[in-house]
Amino acid sequence: MASVVLSEAEKLYIVHGVQEDLRVDGRGCEDYRCAEVETDVVSNTSGSARVKLVETDILVGIKAEMGTPKLEKPDEGYLEFFVDCSSNSPELEGRGGEELGTDIANTLYRVFSCENSVDLKSLCINPKEHCWVLYVDVLLLECGGNIFDAISIAVKAALFNTRIPKVRVLEDEEGTKEIELSDDPYDCIRLNVDEVPCIVTLSKIGYRHVVDATLQEEACSLASLLISVTSKGAITSMKKVGKGSLDPESIFEMMETGQRVGKSLHIALQKILDEEENLGTSRPKVGFLG
């Protein structure tokens, strides 16, 4: 992961500030940075979203394609995650970014492995034969700390924005099945994202933990806990990262904070998504040049 080099004095400054609930940019320990979320930025995808957390920039595109269901779950569709980190910095080009990319993809698989995160049964067309496969492509445009949170917000926004065309299955007298796409381009199914979890990263700095760490704060933190929280406050996965160790009491406190912060994150995100939805086609599109 891209990292900054900090002097010991700078690290001490950050650690002492965090003990007093005051971070370098004036935030409290549980405050997020100002986030910009925009959906429908890429035109040739089924759904897309872009999230910008000051210096962290993530672009997610979702393409819905027809495929065969997995053998263990013949009446469900599925999601495939691909993460590309190569546009970030020269050291992440080629093989370097692959490790980070697979790490992020595996985390996303685990977060979405919970059965009721996405209604996969609605993605089924013909049990055992046809289903919708959602290919989720994550592009890491800029890494400014806290990429997991930004990626999960972008994935949720992109899933909300995804429009899957409605298909009808026609069966002949002989039994051959034909799939017919509806003529109306606006006739599509939308996904229910109420149960989609968001990742909250809590980094341990000194004796306290902070939410949404910048690159400098990540350099001072030896251990972090990644928790995925749904909008109802249920935790669906957790993982500890970093080479330091965590006290069991800290883990309990971090889970409580993560649940609190996660719930308010979901409320704020849903508000933005609903506002965009209500504006419809008259929404001013900012895109990448704004």
In this structure, are strands 188-190 and 223-229 parallel, antiparallel, or unpaired? unpaired
Nearer to another protein, 27 or 130 (CB): 130
Tokens of 118: 């996405």
238 binds another protein (CB under 8 A): yes
Min dist CB 243 to another protein, Å, is 7
Tokens of 229: 């929280």
Pick from 240, 263, 268, 270: which binds another protein (CB under 8 A)?
Answer: 240
Nearer to another protein, 15 or 255 (CB): 255
Q: Dihedral (C-alpha) 109, 112, 115, 117: value to the nearest 10 degrees?
A: -170
71 binds another protein (CB under 8 A): yes
Q: Which residues pair with 181 in a beta bridge?
A: 167
| Span from 50-58, 78-86, 183-191, 238-246 in contact with another protein (CB under 8 A) | 238-246
Q: What is the x/- site pattern for another protein, positions 99-138, by CB under 8 A?
A: -----------xx-xxxx----------------------
In this structure, are strands 163-165 and 188-190 parallel, antiparallel, or unpaired? antiparallel
Burial (Cβ within 10 Å: 0-12, 13-18, ≥19) of residue 245? exposed
| Span from 26-34, 94-102, 157-165, 253-261 in contact with another protein (CB under 8 A) | 253-261
263 binds another protein (CB under 8 A): no
Judge whether 101 and 84 are in contact, CB under 8 Å.
Answer: yes
**Neighbouring residues of 113: CB distance < 8 A, sequence distance ≥ 6:** 237
Binding site for another protein (CB under 8 A): 71-72, 110-111, 113-116, 225, 233-240, 243, 245-248, 251-252, 255-256, 258-259
